Amino acid sequence: EDEVHIIGSVLDLREKTIASVMTPIEDVFTLPIDAVLDRKTVDKMLTAGYSRIPIHAVDNPTQYIGMLLVKQLIAYDADDELPISRFHLSTLPEAASDTSCLDILNFFQEGKSHMALVIDVNNQKSSSIGVITLEDVIESLIGEEIVDE
């Protein structure tokens, strides 16, 4: 019974778009490139609990520059109060909102990034409407929330 369910879900991956399983942009924890990583901001970041933080332009929260991998901060001293611009940012690839979950799974498997910015294809301004990670695709595959340890 589980096997039938799993095979059915795998076939669904072809039909499901990433827009239907992404995290909507208004729920995404992001920071501007000029944010200073002082104790308050680092605390907020750690409380949010995400391992990747999309970084946007100073006066334009719709223009993304890259992403900060939180693991880089393991040895960081918040008293140094460095701006995010002093840290290495990883590439945040863009994916069209009508990309299938199967295609994004193949992209994630290439290993260059495990997060992508979802771009609205129904809008000429190519606005970002969410983020998608491997976990979103796996969740749609097994049809249940994955509870982090």
Interface stretch with ligand ADP, choices 22-30, 90-98, 101-109, 121-129 (CB under 6 A): 22-30
Instruction: Give me 111's structure tokens.
Output: 């290993």
- Choosing from 5, 24, 46, 51, the residue that interacts with ligand ADP (CB under 6 A) is 51
Rounded to 5 degrees, what angle do the CA atoms 109, 85, 88 make?
Answer: 35
User: Considering only 7-15, 21-29, 98-106, 117-125, which stretch makes contact with ligand ADP by CB under 6 A?
Assistant: 21-29
Q: Are 9 and 141 in contact (CB under 8 A)?
A: yes
27 binds ligand ADP (CB under 6 A): yes
Q: Measured from the CB atom, is 33 or 136 closer to ligand ADP? A: 136
Ramachandran bin of 143, using left for φ above 0, alpha for ψ from -120 to 50, beta for the remaining angles: left
> How large is the C-alpha radius of gyration of the chain?
17
Given candidates 50, 64, 107, 108, which one binds ligand ADP under the rule CB under 6 A?
50
Number of residues located near ligand ADP, criterion CB under 6 A: 13
Residue 66 Cα distances to 14, 39, 55, 113, angstroms? 28, 22, 5, 11
Q: Is residue 29 a contact residue for ligand ADP (CB under 6 A)?
A: yes
Token representation of residue 45: 């970041």
Binding site for ligand ADP (CB under 6 A): 23, 27-29, 50-53, 131, 133, 135-136, 148
